Structure 1
Amino acid sequence: MTSVLNRWTAILGLAVAAASLGGCAAAVVGGAAVAGGVVATDRRSPNTQVADQTIELRASSRVNDALGERRGHINITSYYRKVLLTGEVATTEDRQRAYAAVAGTPDVVGVIDELAVLPESSLSQRANDTYLTGRVKAGLLDANGVPANSIKVLTERGTTYLMGRLTPREADLATEVARTTPGVQRVVRVIDFISEQAALHPSDPTGSTPAPAPVSSVPSGGAGAAATPAAEGAVTHPVTPQPVEVQQPPIQVQPLPPASR
């Protein structure tokens, strides 16, 4: 009982932090602050985790240079060098500039553009998104057969994103947890599917499936949702339209050279 109370206390604390910090809180929850505590159980090697964090910093700097004061509310999340863009920008042109800036960042192999041309989300919306992220993470921790510490979770305007390197079975279990979490309106999966053998030996690349990370969108399990398996009816498309990028399998990257300044 005490552990459950502690978990929900932590979730509420995240919501309060989001209300105080705005967009920064979501980046911290989904990025280095949480990842630093689960390095030992993350399926990415330490070098890959550092590479993803470096990509996020470089991409953020490039977006700032491209948009300046028009940046809006943009979250940049890298996992296995595939970058997810979420948030809001003022115009279609700003969205295109942000995409181009991220796609041109060194070591990025794919970009999933989920930016919306909308007014920036409110602090209360961001707090609710952070709260939902915490609830999904708690559900993943409680679920049997789900490598919770190997799944990156973030929520934007009620849509929860799952990023990871998972077997089809693990992906379906994680999706079911997310879509049945009260308040989640939609689930988008950015998953590199791997074999059961690769899941047991994540440092051995021979067991990985040479396929791009698909993006799957499924309905949530809210009121009125059909009680169907999570994968049914999902619309899947490649992470990026450039064939040269989508052909690359998930890899463990080597240490990056010092960034040029």
Structure 2
Amino acid sequence: MKRFPSTGRLAASILGVAALAATVSACAPLMVGGAAMTGAVVATDRRSSGAQLDDQGIELRAANRLRDQMGSRARISVTSYNRRALLTGEVANERDKALAYEIVAKTDNVASVFNELDITNSPTFKEKAEDTLLTGRVKAGLVDTKNLSANSFKVVSERGSVFLMGRVTQREADQATEVARTTKGAQRVVRLFEIISEEELARMK
């Protein structure tokens, strides 16, 4: 099965996004993982509309609080899915890692926090570009996989680690994991799924 597109046009587009992200992050080290929602995405998302709005609010509020309390000494991305917040990026020490967890855990509507922050230096431009390409490849692989709804997954890549989030069945979780695991550039796959039954999925449809 083809896991990722090999066209130069896609690679160039993804690299362009990486360049823009790098420029923005240089001015604002704390980043928000979510994106603006369109009507089509809302309609196919397995989260309730309230949860989707909460997730956007969590990402914005948490990023602002992290910036206010930690300044530019950390590079932290906050990604929320169904009120479960994922922290990726870099901090200088264990104390800052614990502080970031505490800040986000106290953010309104956060149900749980996955603290995947590394204690290391910020990634190079090349590493950021590789992570952006990796995320694009995984998403393309999910789109190409039969019996999977790519919109039901949120994909985050950091230093070759792929983080998968979503409200999915065990079957879907296993399929998506295999897609990510076999994607070029993936060094590790971390599953942060909320597992639902096939009956629940059928009711959603």
Q: What is the CA-CA distance between 1:12 and the residue it aligns to?
A: 3.3
Give the structure 2 partner of residue 218 of structure 1: none
CA contact (8 A) 1:23 1:75 kept: no
* Residues 58-137 of structure 1 mapped to structure 2, 5 A cutoff: 58-70=61-73, 72-137=74-139
Secondary structure class of the residue paired with 1:75: strand
| Structure 1 unpaired stretches of 5+ | 204-261
Q: What is the CA-CA distance between 1:17 and the residue it aligns to?
A: 1.6
Q: What is the CA-CA distance between 1:97 and the residue it aligns to?
A: 1.0
Partners in 2 of 1:170 and 1:46 — Cα distance?
A: 22
Secondary structure class of the residue paired with 1:31: coil
RMSD over aligned Cα atoms = 2.3
Higher helix share: 2
Q: What is the CA-CA distance between 1:175 and the residue it aligns to?
A: 0.4
Larger Rg over CA atoms: 1
CA contact (8 A) 1:19 1:124 kept: no
Partners in 1 of 2:7 and 2:148 — Cα distance?
A: 18
Partners in 2 of 1:23 and 1:95 — Cα distance?
A: 24
Partners in 2 of 1:112 and 1:24 — Cα distance?
A: 24
Q: What is the CA-CA distance between 1:93 and the residue it aligns to?
A: 1.2
**Structure 2 residue 151 is the aligned partner of structure 1 residue 143:** no
CA contact (8 A) 1:145 1:173 kept: no
CA contact (8 A) 1:167 1:194 kept: yes
Pick closer, same or farther for the CA change 1:199–1:65 going to 2, 3 Å.
same
Partners in 1 of 2:47 and 2:142 — Cα distance?
A: 18
Aligned residues: 196
Q: What is the CA-CA distance between 1:9 and the residue it aligns to?
A: 3.2
Give the structure 2 partner of residue 174 of structure 1: 176
Deviations for 1:28-84, whole angstroms, at most 9, x for unmatched residues? 7x5214x535222111122211110000011111111221232x2111000010100
Give the structure 2 partner of residue 46 of structure 1: 49
Partners in 2 of 1:24 and 1:38 — Cα distance?
A: 25
* Residues 103-252 of structure 1 mapped to structure 2, 5 A cutoff: 103-202=105-204
Identical-residue share of aligned pairs (%)? 49
Partners in 2 of 1:52 and 1:126 — Cα distance?
A: 24
Partners in 2 of 1:125 and 1:79 — Cα distance?
A: 25
Secondary structure class of the residue paired with 1:108: coil
Partners in 2 of 1:24 and 1:153 — Cα distance?
A: 20
TM-score by length of 1: 0.70
Q: What is the CA-CA distance between 1:126 and the residue it aligns to?
A: 0.8
